[in-house]
Amino acid sequence: MVNSDGLLLGKHTPVVEVYSPEILYPIPRSIARQGLGIVNELPFFGVDLWHAYELSWLDGTGKPVSRVGRFTVPATSPCIVESKSFKLYINSLNNTRFENDSAVKKCIERDIGAAAGETVSLELFEVDDPSLSGKPLSGINLDRCEPGTTAAEPDAGLLSVHAGTVTEEQLYSHLLRSLCPVTGQPDWATLWLHYRGAGIDHDALLAYIISYRQHQEYHEQCVERMFLDITASCQPEFLHIQAFYTRRGGLDINPFRSTSSSTRALPRLNRQ
């Protein structure tokens, strides 16, 4: 259980008007990972991509600057950063002067990295940069499948494979919903995966995805649970999985986990 004494989720908090890196609230990844049986070496590689759409500060003359930030947080970092504290920290920069983008980038990377416990990278984009346009997903849309009866909680037993087959395919669904473990509010996402292994039954996979609908867990933890369950089910030669959560409070989170250290996370979707 996370010590919630300093947790800001679910609490009324005033607007933070001055630079406040101390407001960032780390949550150890080890707590949830121990519940999944991950104790020592991680069974995956990956990152958490965050997009911050309300990133603003003052330039050297006092004129406001607006950017979109893309943060890359390694899955090997000891902690995730609680999202409300992340938002409040970003807002605390609004009235702080920086000489240039490089100076603010250095400051933010230092502060988020200190909270996460590992080096974090930040890319800054002009708000109308075309590279931020959402990209379509490759693969088969599962949303027309018939999942049948679904469970109230995620259960690896819902998954099934076509025995004796070896399949490589990309699949996705826009029907992923999970709940914030603190407030119980819904978090909406698209789930995408690419694997090669025993062919996964599509109806069963959609039933499994829908079973997260009342499940309370952080985004990153949901994706790691899915990675382990799907791995156990189809014993893949490789597996890449990513969830694209829609934004809340000007932030979206996109956890990516993979069997490969060289495979890169996908960019944002139009839905976000």
In a domain, 264, yes or no: no
How does pLDDT run across 160-205, given as a tens digit for each residue? Answer: 999 999 999 999 999 999 999 999 999 999 999 999 999 999 999 9
**Claim to verify: residue 147 and residue 96 sit in the same structural domain:** no
pLDDT for position 258: 98
Which of 103, 132, 161 is the endpoint of a domain? 132
**Claim to verify: residue 124 and residue 152 sit in the same structural domain:** no
DSSP assigned state of 139:
S
* Cβ neighbours, 10 Å, residue 258: 22
- If one counts the domains in the chain, the total is 2
In a domain, 4, yes or no: no
| pLDDT tens per residue across all 272 residues of the chain | 344 555 555 555 677 889 999 999 999 999 999 999 999 899 999 999 999 999 999 999 999 999 999 999 999 999 999 999 999 999 999 999 999 999 999 999 999 999 999 999 999 999 999 999 999 999 999 999 999 877 889 999 999 999 999 999 999 999 999 999 999 999 999 999 999 999 999 999 999 999 999 999 999 999 999 999 999 999 999 999 999 999 999 999 999 999 999 999 999 999 99
In a domain, 145, yes or no: yes
Cβ neighbors of 33 (< 8 A, separation 6 or more) are 39, 224
Rounded CA separation 112/71 (Å): 9
DSSP assigned state of 265:
P
pLDDT for position 10: 54
DSSP assigned state of 60:
T
What is the extent of the structural domain holding 201?
140-258
**Claim to verify: residue 148 and residue 203 sit in the same structural domain:** yes
The residue among 140, 151, 271 whose CA lies nearest residue 202 is: 140
**Claim to verify: residue 218 and residue 145 sit in the same structural domain:** yes
**Claim to verify: residue 128 and residue 144 sit in the same structural domain:** no
- For the chain, the residue count is 272
**Claim to verify: residue 158 and residue 187 sit in the same structural domain:** yes
**Claim to verify: residue 193 and residue 243 sit in the same structural domain:** yes
Rounded CA separation 19/97 (Å): 10
DSSP assigned state of 117:
T
**Claim to verify: residue 148 and residue 229 sit in the same structural domain:** yes
- Cα torsion at 155, 156, 157, 161 (round to 10°)? 140
**Claim to verify: residue 121 and residue 164 sit in the same structural domain:** no
**Claim to verify: residue 110 and residue 190 sit in the same structural domain:** no
pLDDT for position 232: 96
Catalytic center residues: 180, 187
pLDDT for position 2: 41
pLDDT for position 6: 59
Helix intervals (H) in 12-66: 30-35
Which three-class secondary structure state does DSSP give residue 232?
helix
What pTM was estimated for this model as a whole? Answer: 0.93
pLDDT for position 150: 79
Which of 81, 109, 132 is the endpoint of a domain? 132
pLDDT for position 3: 44
In a domain, 266, yes or no: no
Q: Give the strand pairing for 79-81 and 26-28.
A: antiparallel
Tell me, what CATH number does 150's domain have? 3.30.1130.10
pLDDT for position 93: 97
Phi/psi at 252 (nearest 5 deg)?
A: -125, 150
